[in-house]
Each structure stands twice: as C-alpha cells, then as structure tokens.
Chain A
Amino acid sequence: MTAATEREDGKDGRLEETERVQAGPGPGRGPFGGGMVGGKPSDFRASARRLAGMLAPHRAKVWGVGVLTLASVVLMSLAPRILGHATDLVFAGLVGSRFPEGMSKDDAVAATRAGGDDTVADMLASMDVVPGQGVDFDAVARVLLGVLAVYVLASLLSWLAGFLLNDVVQATVRRMRSDVEDKVHRLPLSYVDRQPRGELLSRATNDIDNVSQSLQQTMGQLLTSVLTVVAVLSMMVWISPLLALIALVSVPVSILLTSRVMKRSQGMFIQQWRVTGRLNAHIEETFSGHALVKVFGRQREAQRVFDEQNADLHDAAFKAQFVSGLVMPIMMFVGNLNYVVVAVVGGIRVASGQLSLGEVQAFVQYTRQFTQPLSQIASMLNLMQSGVASAERVFELLDAEEESPEPPYDAGAGDGPGEVRFEHVSFAYDPDRPLIEDLSLVADPGHTVAIVGPTGAGKTTLVNLVMRFYELDGGRITLDGVDVATLPRSVLRSRIGMVLQDTWLFEGTIRDNIAYGRPDAGEEEVLRAARATFVDRFVHSLPDGYDTVVDEEGGSLSAGERQLVTIARAFLSDPALLILDEATSAVDTRTEVLLQQAMAALRTDRTSFVIAHRLSTIRDADLILVMRDGGIVEQGDHEGLLARDGEYAALYRSQFETA
C-alpha cells in the first residue's frame, strides 16, 4: 500500500510510466528472482579490472595463491613422467630376465637381431637393460616413493592455494556487501524511489552471491586449468615432440567444437528462460487470482494457455538440455581420439626404440589431463562473464549519485520551539513536470497544520521536504529560523518524529521496535509510551507480551496494531516536531478511533504536520491547507474554510454526503 500511495501522491504519471516499461513477465522478476542473474557485462574489461582491483588489499595472498597453484600444477604434471620411469624399470627387468646372466647388453641386442626380430632389437638397444637381471625393486621403490612424495606435496599445495583463495574471496565479498550497505544509507531517496521494487535488493543480494560464487570457482579453476594445460603440454613436448604435436591438434578441434555447441546452446538457454518466464508469469497470475479465474469462468482458458506454454517450455528445455549435453560426449570423443593416436603412434615409436614404454604410459595420462582443463576453461569463461556482469551491476549501484555532503554543524542551531517556514519553495521529481511551485507557509510553534487534498496533490511530498528526504529546487525551508539545508540531516531529523503510512517494523521484539528511535530509553519510558498510544492494551493479549517477535510482514499483528506501534515509536522519541501521515484505510473504524486518540496524544504541545484522509479528524487543526496539483489552493481553519464554501467545503460535503 505504502509505496503505491506514495507514488500516487505526487509523481503519479512519471513513475507509472517507468513501471510499465519494467513490468511484464521476465525470469528475473517475481518469486523466481534468483533465476537469472548476470548476463553479459556491457564493459567487461573495465568491470573486470575494477573487480580485480578489489582484491588489491589481499595482494600478498593472491600472489600466494598463484605461486602455490603453479607449484602444485608443476608437481602434478611431473608425477606421471616419474611414474613412467618405474614402469620402465619393471619392463627392463622383465626383458632383462629373458637373457642369461653375464651377457652384455650389446650381445643381447645382437642376439635378438640375429633372431630376425629387428623391432624388438631396436627397442632393446634404447633400453636400460642389464641382461640376466630381473626387476630392480629397490630402484622401483625409490622412484615410487619419490612419486608418492610429489603427489602428497602437490595435493597439499593445491589445498593450501584453495584455502588462501577462499579467504581472499570471502573477505572481498564481505567488503562488497558492507560497501553496498553503506551506500544504501547515502543514496538519495529519489534514487531509491526510482528503482523498480526488488531491483536494488537483487543487486545487493543475488548479484553479490553470484560474484562470490564465480570468483571462487573461476579464480581457482581457471588458473589451475590454464597452468595445467601449459605444464602438461611442456611435459608432452619433453617426452615426444611428435606426439605432442598430434595432441596439440586436438586443441583447436575441441575449442571449435565446444564453442559451436555452446553458442547454439546459449541461444537455446535464452529461449528456455524466455519461455520459462512466460509460463511462470501465467502460473503466478492464475494461482494468485485463483478465485477470480474460477468465478469468471476462466479456468478452461487458463488451462489452454498453460498447456500451450508448458509444451513450449518442454520443447525449448529439451533442445537446450540436449545440445548442452553434447559437450561432454564430444569432448570425451576428442579425448579418446587423442588416446587412440597416442596409443598407436606411441606404440610404434616404442617398438622402434624411439620412446620407452613408461613414456607412452605417461603420455596417455597426460592426454587425459590435457582435454579436461580445456573444456573447463570454456565453461569458466562463461561463468566469469556472468560474475563480471553481476559485479558491474553492483558497481553501478556503488557509483550512483549520493546525497549532498553534510554541512558543518554549529551546536544549537535550529533548536527552538519548533517554528517551520516554507519560503517560495519549489520542487519537482521530474524537471519537466514541476510539482510544487513557489509555495510559502508558516507553522507556528505548537500548532497543528493539517494537509488535505486529492491523491497526487503533493501532500506526502510536502512533508518529505521538511525531513529533507528530497532536496529543494528553489526557495528554502527554515526550522526556528535556520535553513534546514544548513543543518546536518541527522540533527534535523532527530528533532522530528514521523509516523508514516508505511508501518515499517523490523524483525525484533515489540519493545525493540518501540525503542527504535531511542535505544537508550528505560523500560518505564517504553511502557509509558506504549500506554499513551494504546499499544499496551493489545500487547497483553499476545503470548510473549512486549517480547513478542514481529517481522516485516507484521506476523501476529493487525495493520492497526502495527500502526499503533509506529506511533508509540514516535512518541518515545519525543520530538519537537511531528509529521503524521494518517494511513487508516486498511484499518477498521473502531481501531481507527484508537489511532486517532493516540495521534492526538502525540500532537499535544508539538508543532505537527498531519496529512488527513478523513476530514472529521482535523477539524480542530490550527491551520488547514487544501492542496491541489502541488499548490495550496486554500488555507484557514475549519469554520473559516467552510464559510468560504470553496474546495474544502466541497470535499467536506462529499465525505458526509447523504445521497
């Protein structure tokens, strides 16, 4: 209610327009908010650089991550090669044991060649064989212990890198969150109002979550993957440049294949999200309007639309799922091709003595290690794009214009009995559509000023200007002779108590909610405020009394009771100046009587601005302002205005009209 009323009150058309643009089904809206964060960043480089900049305070740790990852990858890549030596030793022992002891290796080669087995002889010649000697298990054990050490160390380093990276990412995201939270307090209200509902929140929550996840995954895995590809490739070249070349051919092949598949599937996923959004919007509408769909006999139509869109979703989702599901088999196939080629070509080269068997075994392991990071890099790049896009949206929020800086404060300025003056004030939400123009008025200390008028007349805007929620375009507002623009906002606002239409309660006990404006208030003061504003009455019927926890939605409290709590809150803060926006349409009339009495109690001896919806409640106001289209069309007291028989009299009659 509150946001809507506020909008009606003042900047009706303008916001409606922006809303119309924003509205409409989309996967990013409604209860499906989390579905589509990210997307494509508009300036990838700048945002990525800025995101990287946020890591700067943790430079040492980031370097640590890099060095540890590099070390771990190098070790991990060396291991198969060393393991290959062990296999070679076994093989050599195996071959060596075929020949009689004491025979020299050359004799053994010659003997083999004499037997007509040229290939084996070639292989034998290149091997480290001692004829007659079996497998040297001491040597094998030494090699294997070395490999074991390398593996343990590699795992340890990789874990340490992940550990450090996690700390860096969490610290960065924590900073980001607190930056956003700080920002929320410095944004001008006009900015907050302008954002579609949920947009601000989505940036502050979903986007930051997404940044956190993609940072963690990409930074760790991207680095590992790239380094692994490089390291493995170098190992391959070291073992056999020819085989490495063959393996290398698979790189462009797999990149080409996956990027084509991914590009296709991306379009399909977009289509899937679009259809999902449409279907979800239809479901949302049908379920929320359940009773109306029935009573107006729309069920068959709703079912027909649902069936159609459901079938569309099925088709789109199937395509997206199938095409994206192709990536894995294709990559596997490319990997297997590599494997086959290495097995064959490697085998021939071993047979011809140019490679050892252990080297081929190592090579097979390397080709396995090689294709996997390649496909990972591709998906990491996608994830990174989405993360940077989210970061960009957060940065946009952080870069939004801020309220003007606070002026220096002379202690005591603006203190006084509470006289408020508007001097030639003008204000517009939209420069093209001035709302308030050249408005002047005086509220004497201790007086009640009532503001009445149709929706959209600018009543709420007027009182928001006193709070300096918006900055004036012209003229000035003074509090006890001091221009409010020269007072720090906190000083100004702490002198004013405000009861908004928006019955905002935070999640906490009723006691804490009452004490919100004055957390240092004692129990007795809280109780006094509660009694004066009739909160005490209903609190006793609650199971936990003042310790009952309420939330944003109000939970166990009715709309009227929530409003009473906000009145108690203003009462306790004991301000010199009061602003009451009477929101009572949701409240039944007998509760409203209580509200009226509570507000009257609050008004005693304070300068008060009251936005009245029911004219009977403000007949004894000292000054009644009748507003229309941002201007004051009439002012005076009740009797005077009635006698004048103008706008106010007409309004008054319409409320008590007996048709």
Chain B
Amino acid sequence: MLLSLVRRGVAPYRRHVAVVVLMQFLGTVAALTLPSLNADIIDRGIVTGDIGYIWRHGALMLLVSLAQVACTITAVWFAARTAMAFGRDTRSRIFERVGTFSAREVQHFGAPSLITRETNDVQQVQMLVVMAGTLAVAAPIMMVGSVLMALREDVGLSWLLVAVVPALGVSIGFIVSRMVPSFRLMQVRIDEVNRLLREQITGVRVVRAFVREQHETERFAQANDELTGVAVTAGRWMAGMFPVVMLVANVSTVAVVWFGGHRVESGAMEIGAITAYIAYLMQVVMSVMMATFMLMMVPRAAVCAERITEVLATDTSVVPPAEPVRETVERGTLRLESVDFAYPGADVAVLHDVSLEAGPGRTLAIVGSTGAGKSTLVNLVPRLFDATSGRVLVGGVDVRRLDPEVLWSRIGLVPQKAFLFSGTVASNLRHGKADATEQEMWEALEVAQARDFVEALPEGLEAPVAQAGTNFSGGQKQRLAIARAVVRRPEIYLFDDSFSALDLTTDARLRAALAPITRDATVVVVAQRVSTIRDADEILVLEDGRVVGRGTHDELLAGCGTYQEIVASQFSAQEAS
C-alpha cells in the first residue's frame, strides 16, 4: 500500500529522485574518501616525515569536503521538492476524488475522517518521503560504501564488520521490540486519560450537580497511575537505547585497535588504516541507526497510506450521466415513483416503495419519527444519493439523466443542520445566487426573519462568518441558511427539518413570509412540529421507510393512526381540533 502509493505519487518526479540518489551517492563517496585521505596523510606524510605531502593531501581533503556539502545540499533540495510535490499531488487527488463522492460515500467515511486523511495522513506519508530522500537513500549507500572502503584498507579485519552490524541490529532490535508495545499501550493510556479529562470538562455541570468530584478524582488518579506506569517502562527502555548503541560502537573500536595492531605488527596492514578503519566503522554504526529510525517510521506511515488508498480506491455511487440532459421539460415538478433505498449490505431498507408527486404552488409536508427516512427522501432529490430502485424525476426528467448543474440550479436546499461557510453574510448568500444584488439579499433575509439581527451587526451584510458559522446562534444560522435558499428563488424548495431550531413565534412568521414568494414554486417541508405543517396541501406520513398515510391535516387526523399519535403527542385533544 505504502510502497505503491509512494511509487505512484513520486513517478512524475523520477528525475528528481534520480538526482537525489546520484547526489547522495557522490556525497557519500566524498564522505568516505576523507578517512582514507587521512590514513594516507599518516602513512605517507607522517611516517615518512613528508610535510609537503601532508599539505597537498590536506588541500585535497578540503576539496572533497566542499564537494560533499555541495552534493548533500543539492540532494536536500531535490528531496524536499519531490516530497512536497508528492504531498501536494496526493492532497489534490484525494480532494478531487472526494468531490466526486455522493453523500453515501461521505457518510461511509465520515467527514472528520476524510479531513484527517486529507491532512494529517498525507502529512505523515510526506514526512516519510522526506526522510527517505535524505536518510533512506543515504544509509544503504553509506553502509555499503563504508564496508567497501574498510575492505580496501584491510580485508583481514572485515570479519569485525560482519560481527558489528548484526550485533548492533540485534541489540537495537531487542530494545525496539520491547519499546514498541509499551509505546502502543502508552497511547491507549493517554487516550484514556484525555477521555476522562474531556468527560470532566464537558460534563462539569453534571459532576458538580451530583457532587461526584471525589469519585471523578479517584477514577482519574487510577488512569493517571496506569499511564505513568507504562510511560516509566517505555522510558526506561528508551533510556537504554543510546548507551547500548554507543557501547557496541565503542567496543568495536577497541577491537579494531587490538586486532588491527596485530595485523600492523605482522605487516599485513598499515598503521594509518587503524584510524581510517575506526572512522568507517562509525559510519556503519551511524547508517544502521539511521536505517532503524527510518524503519520505526514505516508502520505509522503504512497505516496512513492505507487510509489514503482506501479513499482513492472508492468509486462514487452516484455516477454523472454520460450524455446529460441539459433542459427540464416541466417547470418545478417533483415525482418519486416507487422508490426504494437501502445502504449496501443493510438488511432493512431505509425507504420502501415511496411514491409522491409535487408541483408548483403546492406544499408537500413529510412527517414521521426520527429514523423514518425523511432526510434520506429529501436527499434523493438533489441526487446526494441514488435510489436503489424506482425513479426520481425533477422537471419531468429522471435525475440520473440530468446534468447535475442543471438539477442543482433548480433546487434550494436547507439542510437539517444549518451549515454556513466562512466568509461574510453576503458571501454565504451569494452561494445561493452568485450575482445577487444587495436588495435581493435584504429581501431574502427579510423573508427568513434574519433581517433584524443582520442589520444589528455593525458590518451588516459584510459581517464576518466564522468557520461553520460558530459566531452565530443555532437559530440565526438556520435563518441564514434559509435566506441562502430563498435568494436563489429556486423552482423547488427543500426544507429538511429547518424550522426546529426556531422558536414558535419566529417559525410562524417565517412561514407567513414564505407563502407569497413560494407561490410559483414547489415546497417540500420535513418537520417535527405539527403546527409547522398543518396547512400543507399534502402531508406524507412516513414510518420505517414506508408511507403509512397521505392527505391533508384533517383527512389524516380522521384516518391515520400514526398521524393521530404524533398530533396527540403535541397537542391536547381540544387544541388539535
């Protein structure tokens, strides 16, 4: 997963990668030449007392150092280029893919999860690419190079290298294998502690109302102790890491001097080679350590890559038409013909055999308890979902054949949860109608009963709207969302339980103001309150995804049991009549 994602993402930057590898290679060669030159200084300069030789080789070492820094910087440049381009392209691919998703896929992943995948997960994988460009490429080259150079100095000591690398690998591996489970457990414990704190803060009133502070403190103390326990264990292993690596490295240095000394004595090796050998050995140790750190990052990035790939591999369930119809044939009509809707793999259908018809100047209301399928029904109209069977027709055309842009331009949707975009009041209204004039906007606000509070804002229409509209109250957001649909003057209004956040007086005034402007439009209202919908031309009663009653308020009151129950729950008998 990780590999194929990275390979695919990096493919366009093949040349960059080639430069990185080449430069890291050259840089490593340069780095490795230094100890060898140093050995030459000792063997041919010092031992023979040739000071000129020492100077000349010193200058050579300087040149090599310069070459090395130039190569490494070039490699860093191209590695950063590649990694950041990879991140940008991957983000872009995810964003475009999510853009094609229908509400079903978004629901499947959940918006917060999609956001995390697009941001945090990409960041993680990108980080790995950066590290790969600098460390992962350099480490093996460095290791192989060091071994080769060491062999060049003296083949007889090569068994030392053979011994050191596994020794290092085993000791680091041992510590890491102990550390990783501790760290994993520690994350669980941290989550636990954070959860308790979050509960205490969000539930502060309940905790105090029931005088349970003591109990909460005890609960927390236990979680805190558990976390501390595992953190201490993890930390102790961690503390051992560096000393152990140093010990292995240092012991092997001692070994080089001892065994190297014997070989120098026997004339198999020059004295300068000892110093060089130590230097190469250290390089090997370093590269093994770098490789280990790199490997420690891989599992986490692999999980992220998997989550990213999952998004990229998901196809939308709402496929745009190949040959879209660009015109509707009727104005503002809406028809559902025996529509079924079920989530894939679910036993129970959300909607079953639902038919309805609505046209301009008529108000269709849909009532039913939570989970009856009301919102799903509304979402079928703008094709946020596709019906499993049956047809949805807008303006006389099957929505699956309509050009999505045309379809959406006919609809004004006010969702259940009012959602505003960051920007200004005006920019939000312009989402409804891009070229809305100030006057049109004020009119829409007036209808939506939002004029008063917008006027009261010092900046008026230009008042800022924070992300998700958090600087407005629930009722205000809802009214602005309604205004956004109204300013559009669509053929079909879809109000998905849009009035519940309003107090009853405002609700009543709003409905009165809506009446004249929706005279030529089709209005579909989902509602909980009977008072909101009792005047609708037709009321559809949904229960468990089926239509169990349809008719006017009075007709249903006379003949539909479910409707009677709903009404009875809201009014006492004489008020309903």
Contact = CB atoms under 8 A, between A and B. Distances in A.
B569 A291 contact: no
A275 to B, nearest CB: 12
Contact of A493 (B101, B211, B217, B244): B211
B88 A310 contact: yes
Interface residues of B, number: 167
Interface in A447-505: 454-455, 467, 469, 489-490, 493-494, 496-498, 500, 502, 504
Interface stretch (A36-44, A114-122, A379-387, A436-444): A114-122
Contacts of A290: 98, 101, 103, 106, 111
Contact of B384 (A135, A294, A326): A294
A32 B98 CA distance: 19
A144 B250 contact: no
A94 B265 CA distance: 6
Given A91-B271, A159-B243, A177 B224 contact: yes
B207 interface: yes
A604 interface: no
B190 A209 contact: yes
B271 A90 contact: yes
Contact of A205 (B197, B247, B568): B197
Given A32-B120, A120-B49, A516-B212, A283 B240 contact: no
B435 interface: no
B437 interface: no
B307 to A, nearest CB: 14
Contact of B76 (A12, A155, A181, A325): A325
Interface string A132-169: 00110100110010011001101110110111011101
Contact of A454 (B209, B503, B529, B575): B503
Interface string B225-255: 1011001100110111011101100110110
A314 B413 contact: no
Interface string A285-297: 1111111101111
A58 B468 CA distance: 47
B224 A23 contact: no
A354 interface: no
Contacts of B47: 120
Given A192-B204, A500-B205, A294 B382 contact: yes
Interface string A561-600: 0000010010001000000000001011111110000000
A12 B473 contact: yes
B295 to A, nearest CB: 20
A507 interface: yes
B197 A314 contact: no
Nearest to B421: A285
B69 A329 contact: yes
A658 B225 CA distance: 62
A566 B210 CA distance: 11
Contact of A295 (B45, B50, B190, B411): B411
Contact of A135 (B232, B264, B431): B264
B65 A333 contact: yes
Contact of B65 (A216, A336, A347, A365): A336
B534 interface: yes
A184 B197 CA distance: 9
A20 B471 contact: yes
A181 B197 contact: yes
Contact of A287 (B111, B206, B232): B111
Contacts of B209: 467, 493, 496-498, 500
A590 B257 contact: no
A274 B239 CA distance: 35
A599 to B, nearest CB: 14
Contacts of B208: 185, 189, 467, 469, 489, 493
Interface string B90-132: 0110011011010100100001101110111000000000100
B546 interface: no
A548 interface: no
A507 B202 CA distance: 13
B324 to A, nearest CB: 14
B422 A285 contact: yes
A280 interface: yes
B467 A182 contact: no
B5 interface: no
Contact of B257 (A32, A144, A220, A654): A144
A658 B534 contact: yes
A20 B76 contact: no
B46 A357 contact: yes
A592 to B, nearest CB: 6
B575 A31 contact: no
B236 A310 contact: no
Interface string B180-210: 0000000000100111111111111111111
Interface string A608-633: 00000010100000000000000000
Interface string A208-222: 010010001000100
A27 to B, nearest CB: 10
A504 B198 CA distance: 11
B235 A170 contact: yes
A322 B508 contact: no
A63 interface: no
A524 to B, nearest CB: 21
Q: Which of B250, B379, B500 has the most CB of A within 10 A?
A: B250
Contact of A585 (B84, B260, B467, B501): B501
Given A155-B243, A165-B239, A174-B224, A469 B73 contact: no
B566 interface: yes
Q: A interface, by DSSP: helix, strand, loop or mixed?
A: helix
A364 interface: yes
Contact of A90 (B88, B95, B254, B274): B274
B34 A336 contact: yes
A299 interface: yes
B48, B204, B238, B488: residue with the most chain A Cβ atoms closer than 10 Å: B204
Contacts of B207: 185
Interface stretch (A1-9, A100-108, A409-417, A528-536): A1-9
B61 interface: yes
A200 B473 CA distance: 22
B317 interface: no
A160 to B, nearest CB: 9
B205 A347 contact: no
Contacts of A151: 246-247, 250-251, 254
Nearest to B534: A658
B569 A593 contact: yes
A171 interface: yes
A645 interface: no
B46 A284 contact: no
Given A174-B224, A330-B69, A291 B247 contact: no
B540 interface: no
Contacts of B65: 333, 336-337, 339-340
A56 interface: no
Interface in A362-383: 364-365, 368
B83 A321 contact: yes
Contacts of A185: 200, 207-208, 213, 216-217
A297 B405 contact: yes
Contact of A318 (B81, B204, B216): B81
Contacts of A119: 49-51
A126 interface: no
Contact of A31 (B116, B369, B474): B116
B208 to A, nearest CB: 6
A66 interface: no
A292 B419 contact: yes
Contact of B49 (A118, A201, A299, A317): A118
Contacts of B61: 336, 339-340, 343-344
Given A155-B246, A283-B119, 15 more contacts: A4-B473, A91-B271, A151-B246, A162-B236, A181-B217, A201-B201, A313-B87, A322-B77, A341-B58, A364-B279, A455-B475, A502-B206, A517-B210, A589-B530, A656-B531
Please provide the 4 A-B residue pairs with the shortest distance between their CB atoms, ordered closest to farther: A162-B239, A119-B49, A23-B466, A344-B58
